[in-house]
């Protein structure tokens, strides 16, 4: 039984599609809580040095943006929580999913292939491998062109 859906949001078009997909599932299932989650990726300029004031500002901006998305979902009658974390996106998503506990993660994937995939990896792929619950990935669809 699905009671909580976690939707990681990076404010891309793909994550917007994931939010819409998660919304559809939550509405069809009824009584499902949605948790929107953004991770501010921590960047070390050199080992042990990070710039905390910048992260606090980034977290606050992310929370405001998530609140806007949450407001739209609440207007459609869905219970929504908003969470913001700092660190490795895949690790933080897996940790939050376990602590909630989430019954389903719905997240976008950017569909990188080749060198960029090898270099950057895939957050969605890491979450799929490490999560304790099912993960639904939503890939950005390319617009169809007329022939």
pTM of the model: 0.86
Q: What pLDDT was estimated at residue 29?
A: 94
N-terminal to C-terminal alpha carbon distance within the chain: 44
- Give the DSSP H or E segment for 112: none
**pLDDT of 103 above 50:** yes
Say if residue 44's pLDDT is above 70: no
Q: Where are the domains of the chain?
A: 4-139
* Full DSSP string of 47-78: TTB--HHHHHHHHHHHHHHHHHHHHHHHHTT-
Summary mean pLDDT of the chain: 86
Rounded average pLDDT over 38-42? 88
Contact between residue 21 and residue 138 where contact means Cβ atoms under 8 Å apart: yes
Both tokens assigned to 60? 């606050």
Question: How much of the chain, in percent, has pLDDT values that exceed 90?
Answer: 64
- How many Cβ atoms sit within 10 Å of the Cβ of residue 10? 18
Supply the pLDDT for residue 41: 85
pLDDT mean over 105-121: 62
| Encoded tokens for 135 | 């993960």
Average pLDDT over residues 86-110: 94
How many Cβ atoms sit within 10 Å of the Cβ of residue 24?
Answer: 11
A 10 A CB-CB count for 115 gives: 8
d(CA 117, CA 128): 15
Closest among 109, 125, 131 to 6, alpha carbons compared: 131
The CATH number of 4-139 is: 3.40.50.620
Q: What is the pLDDT of residues 86-97, one digit of tens each?
A: 889 999 999 999
Res 37 pLDDT > 50: yes
pLDDT-derived band of residue 109, with 50, 70 and 90 as boundaries?
A: confident
Say if CB 138 and CB 106 are below 8 A apart.
yes
pLDDT value for 140: 73
Backbone angles phi, psi at 96, to 5 degrees: -65, -40
**pLDDT by residue (tens digit) across 115-141?**
444 444 588 889 999 999 999 999 876
């Amino acid at each position: 039984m699905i009671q909580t859906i976690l939707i990681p949001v990076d404010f891309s078009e793909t994550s917007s599609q994931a939010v819409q997909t998660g919304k559809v599932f939550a509405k069809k299932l009824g009584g499902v809580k949605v948790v929107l989650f953004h991770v501010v990726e921590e960047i070390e300029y050199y080992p042990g040095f990070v710039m905390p004031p910048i992260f606090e500002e980034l977290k606050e901006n992310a929370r405001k943006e998530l609140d806007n998305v949450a407001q739209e979902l609440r207007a459609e009658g869905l219970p929504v929580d908003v969470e913001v974390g700092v660190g490795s996106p895949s690790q933080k998503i897996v940790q939050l999913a376990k602590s909630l506990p989430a019954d389903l993660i719905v997240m976008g994937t950017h569909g990188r292939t080749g060198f960029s995939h090898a270099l950057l990896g895939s957050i969605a792929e890491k979450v799929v491998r490490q999560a304790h619950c099912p993960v639904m990935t939503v890939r950005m669809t390319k617009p169809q062109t007329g022939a």
